[in-house]
Amino acid sequence: MIKMQYITLNNGVKMPLVGFGVYQIKANECEKAVKEAINVGYRLIDTAQAYYNEEGVGSAVVNSGVPRDKLFITTKVWISNAGDDKALKSIDESLRKLKTDYIDLLLIHQPFGDYYGTYRAMLKAYKQGKVRAIGLSNFYDARFIDLCENMEIKPAVVQLETHVFTQQRKMTELMAQYKTKLMAWSPLAEGKNNLFTDKTLKAIGSKYGKTNAQIALKFLAQKSIVSIPKTVHKERMIENLDIFDFNLDKEDLKRLDALDTGKPLAADFTDPKLAKFLLDYDKTFNPANS
């Protein structure tokens, strides 16, 4: 089994550097995929209330044969559960679905709705021992700073679209002020910009005997950025985790740095249309509403 590497969050909690994401994995397929990922060697599992598959993650964890304290579970509070009271109730509901007494990392999923109330609820859950670390997802620039400056416990993690083409340099600088770690969603850019056939990644990969995906993930890992690639194929699970037996040299890192476009490829959080889509998301996609 591949030996995992870890980073230390600003509250001393250790977090695996590579995890398994379950976004868009159907509820009835999630348990099998997560069990496979755990068997392969993943110890970080990333889910969310709005993925509607927390129960599958919980069942996989319980039936994995791996002690709970060896696993790291991340979930996220959705916009429709925003606010002090609703968020607190939703955290207890996530705990029930995940079949666990605590969540390792709890994030506010989107920077919309009463996210101040949600953060206060997460702080309460943190102090009650229901959560080991708290953070944010998709918070940028001023909103990130505003929340940090007004909350006693600073976010341990911010999860953002991050990959070789969108490297989040500005946010990394801002987050460093609070010792907040960056966590990459879409670490393989959803295959955009021809990531899997990109010539720079391919040339570097040939030097180390690695694939484009492995080079892209190693680039993040070497910068201490947590990544959560998603796949339902066992061979890809193994491939995505097999990045700890080599290091990119300075020249290769420079070549990969040069791939940064400075722009998001998957989601622009300044786009009003995206905001409206996310605010209506639960009404449209929640299976309970169908």
Q: What is the CATH number of the domain that holds 128?
A: 3.20.20.100
Residue 275: inside a domain: no
Query: pLDDT tens for residues 229-260?
Result: 999 999 999 999 999 999 999 999 999 999 99
Distance CA 167, CA 98 (A): 32
Overall pTM > 0.75: yes
Residue 207: inside a domain: yes
Sign of CA pseudo-dihedral 227, 160, 255, 9? negative
Retrieve residue 76's tokens. 């996220």
Retrieve residue 82's tokens. 């925003």
Residue 160: inside a domain: yes
Residue 237: inside a domain: yes
Residue 271: inside a domain: no
Distance CA 175, CA 145 (A): 9
**Total count of domains within the chain:** 1
Residue 283: inside a domain: no
Query: Quick one: which H or E segment has residue 181?
Result: strand 181-185
Retrieve residue 247's tokens. 């290091």
Residue 86: inside a domain: yes
Active site residues: 51
DSSP 213: H
Query: pLDDT tens for residues 105-154?
Result: 999 999 999 999 999 999 999 999 999 999 999 999 999 999 999 999 99
Query: pLDDT tens for residues 58-108?
Result: 999 999 999 999 999 999 999 999 999 999 999 999 999 999 999 999 999
> Domain containing 200: what range?
6-265
Rounded to the nearest integer, the mean pLDDT of the chain is 96
The answer to whether 163 is a known ligand-binding residue is: no
Contacts of 144 (CB under 8 A, 6+ apart): 136, 155, 158, 171, 174, 175
Distance CA 258, CA 17 (A): 23
Residue 1: inside a domain: no
Cβ atoms of 49 and 81 closer than 8 Å = yes
